[in-house]
A and B are shown apart, each in its own frame.
Chain A
């Protein structure tokens, strides 16, 4: 790869790495298949690599959930086909406990990290940052490329762990020691756990390379006139996401390094007073604290949920304004609440640990800080609703998913008020109430944000539209299905039904939900099938979708719609446009929309 390829972008706001001077036309390098599609340094291609990897991961992760829902819904039935496909993991056509736990662990890991972090941030940060701030590419296209390839490496290692004889990690996606540290206590904690840790280490590297790049690009490479307060909310959201990631992922990394030492170095960071029943042996480790790991993990783990949800919020804000044909309500309040959420995200981690024996006084501080997050969240919800008020709403598929996002975010956010209150957490901790809460508020919501973004920017990514009819079916079944799956789980949780059980028939307190579990499993399978239809629509439309014929099909104000329909590397063929106004002049002075590139008119009203 020639170094030329990395440098042919030329930002208008002079940055330190400007090597070329005085040339504004795009260089046309001879691009080979490898430099164009594989080791590409074009942010748009990298973003496509992220989304396609993300989609593959999402199918795998979703399929895992279908498998374990099969067990939960039909604990007494056997499915011989599973034995044909999975061998010893489904002996006699029944999912074996170890495999069940491997499935839930991998489902969590894959969706939280590989899909909703890598897939979501990776895709939209890469795609939208240069296009919306008016830059030719990222601050460092090479690091950006490395970011994807570390992500790919992490993926490969994680996939390999699925094929180990002792199975992949199976101690839950949070991999709490001592269970995750002791191979003798759990088969999944043998080689599978090492693979998990190494894969996550690669993932952290990828996330840091990406995050640092996003931050430096947003801060340094905005085009002329693009002040921070003129940025679209997507960029603000991505900026805060990147800051969260850069500050918290290293803490997870350190926690995992200590775990590695405990596993193989004979240290006792997390281990103390352990006698393993399976081997009838007491371990020599004394003085460690298993709770230390939980502090380190959740110091990432909680910001992680905001790393997942903030980009979705940004995408939704943007799409909602465009399709309501009016400005997003309370732009500064939206930025302020993103900022508040970012700060608070670092101060609430111990609300995952109310029942670990945490000092009650400390617990009470975390209750206060946790419930504070509800205030910026409420501001955002009310602002979204007000954005709809007196709009002129076009229900594009993207807009539908944006509205669905807000509905789910309300539902899931409100149950967070239950769980963040330590008194209620005593009863609800580790029950299905938690499952329902976080799947709605960060799982499905974030997916809705992602779908919203994909449907909206697909024309920019591929120069074609996705099929609308399939998109509408996709939206309505997914929204209804998501509620049908997760809403009833709240009730199971209120009954105290613990998560991570594969069969409740031995329990008199929790066996009253057999029918409900079967119902949930059935709906889950239908919803999964509809997601496959989305995947089909996505790939089919890349090649066969209706062609985009105008530069700005949605009538949006932001810069990405001033590029050619299929922009080359460098984005704008001529000079990068100059920005004269904020991103939300919709319906101003009787005009449908005013692009950011249009100078303020003499008689224009100020907002």
Chain B
């Protein structure tokens, strides 16, 4: 009912506008085209100025309104660098924005039609054009310089002591693998993947390095102030590990592992206090369209102290253990199809896992 009501109101509004528009056309014919034109021109010229002033106030107001809602304190060292790059860019583009918009609308207002004025024949001026080629070039050199300086620091090699975690995206969730005590990720092959057999990553049990690998879903644990290197994979389509609080992002591409590293600066508990929000969590959002439940593909990161992390890891059972808990003589008795697949691709998988170890 209300929908119909709204439609009727819209239609009525439309008819009225149309009638006014038609009437004003007749009036302009009666009054004389020239007079009507001058009148309209004055109104539009005035509105140009109104729009400029209201627009600039609006931009300022919008900034004030959202100040607290957008960039919270970046939670990683890289994030702080990105934020300072943001500020540099804001300042430079902000100045250009205000100058150009003011000139545009102010000129439009100031040089609106007047019977007395004639357009000034001014086809070109090499000096002026030189000025506004060189100035943007300088501004951009500054931005490129700062940008690349930070870019190479952020994308450079991870420190040697970085915690290594393998992140795998799937429709629609996240799987995390920790290498276990040997600090080596065991080999895996995607043909071995079977959710029914609790092997969600396709680990090859013949490789002893897999035996202590810990595989968990949804929640990833990180150690505060310890660099972490994520080795990012996908099981099916392209996903993206989006870490808004850490200002980091990297695609998860099936068949092509990617990496990123950063250093978390605040534990989840600290961040709860900083934000005065007892429910605060670091979230992993999938930032690459991955299917109909893309918008629910949420992961959680718990940043904890080293002691808490060790305690947490000690409580985790390895993937291998939870699969073969009740059948001790496990590795030799994995079913034959797995064995075959593993044999066929052994070299292939080996080279991949080497790549992942780095």
Contact = CB atoms under 8 A, between A and B. Distances in A.
Interface of A: 79, 81, 97-98, 101, 170-172, 176-179, 182, 185-187, 271-278, 280, 282, 286-291, 324-333, 355-357, 360, 363-364, 367-368, 371-372, 374-375, 378-379, 381-386, 388-395, 400, 403, 406-407, 410-411, 414-415, 417-418, 421-424, 426-427, 429-431, 467-470, 472-473, 476, 479-480, 483, 487-488, 491-492, 494-498, 500-504, 506-510, 512-513, 529, 532-533, 536-537, 546, 584, 586-590, 592, 607
Interface string B241-264: 010110111110111111100000
Interface in B261-311: 277, 279-281, 283, 285-296, 298
A353 to B, nearest CB: 9
B255 A498 contact: no
B151 interface: yes
B150 interface: yes
B104 A364 contact: no
B70 A470 contact: no
Given A277-B195, A355-B249, A360-B151, A468 B129 contact: no
Contact of A390 (B111, B146, B289, B294): B111
A185 B21 CA distance: 52
B276 to A, nearest CB: 13
A569 B333 CA distance: 83
B240 interface: yes
Contacts of B290: 179
B123 A357 contact: no
A357 B118 contact: no
Nearest to B235: A275
6 nearest A-B residue pairs (beta carbon): A496-B244, A272-B255, A357-B258, A326-B119, A325-B119, A587-B119
B170 interface: yes
Interface string B154-195: 111000000000000011000000000000000000110111
A331 B258 contact: no
A555 to B, nearest CB: 11
A325 B41 CA distance: 14
Contacts of B118: 325, 392, 587, 590, 592
Contacts of B114: 392
A388 B111 contact: yes
Contacts of B295: 97, 500-504, 506
Contacts of B292: 97-98, 101, 170, 186-187
A291 B253 contact: yes
A7 B91 CA distance: 59
Given A291-B256, A390-B111, 14 more contacts: A182-B237, A275-B170, A275-B236, A277-B195, A357-B250, A371-B143, A388-B107, A389-B122, A390-B122, A423-B82, A431-B287, A467-B22, A496-B247, A513-B69
Interface stretch (B132-140, B206-214, B319-327): B132-140
A395 B256 contact: no
Given A179-B291, A426-B247, A496-B242, A391 B120 contact: yes
B111 A324 contact: yes
Nearest to B22: A467
Nearest to B283: A509
B124 A329 contact: yes
B22 A356 contact: no
Interface string B99-137: 011011101100111100111111111001100110111
Contacts of A79: 3
Given A374-B140, A587-B121, A417 B62 contact: no
Given A356-B258, A501-B295, A422 B147 contact: yes
Contact of B104 (A288, A406, A492): A406
B148 interface: yes
Nearest to B132: A382
A582 B207 CA distance: 77
